[in-house]
Amino acid sequence: MPQFEISEELRNAILNALENKYIKAGRVFDTKDGGLNMLNIMILLENFNQEALVKGLQLISTQLDKEFYTLSYIIKFLQNI
């Protein structure tokens, strides 16, 4: 996994989003060992600036209500918010 620093605000938004059972089950933000999936976070930061990503993750944690298993689903979901 790449080593890469993210802001505390983004880290908290991701951890908050992981409280959604569908996001947790999708396993796109975390790894099996309990860490954050930095590669997927880097991909998200290529598609969205940090402010938009934090705002989108706050919304997605309450609005996402079905199973998914790909990062592309999250990207499309965030683009449509």
* Interval 44-73: pLDDT, tens: 999 999 999 999 999 999 999 999 999 999
Cβ pair 41, 48 in contact under 8 A: no
Task: Give dist(CA 53, CA 44) in Å, integer.
Answer: 8
pLDDT band at 2 (very low <50, low <70, confident <90, very high): low
The phi and psi torsions of 64 (rounded to 5 degrees) equal: -75, 120
* Interval 10-34: pLDDT, tens: 999 999 999 999 999 999 999 989 8
Supply the pLDDT for residue 81.
82
Supply the pLDDT for residue 11.
96
Q: Which amino acid, one-letter code, is at 26?
A: G
pLDDT band at 1 (very low <50, low <70, confident <90, very high): low
Of the chain, the percentage scoring pLDDT greater than 90 comes to: 89
Bridge partners (DSSP) of residue 30 are 36
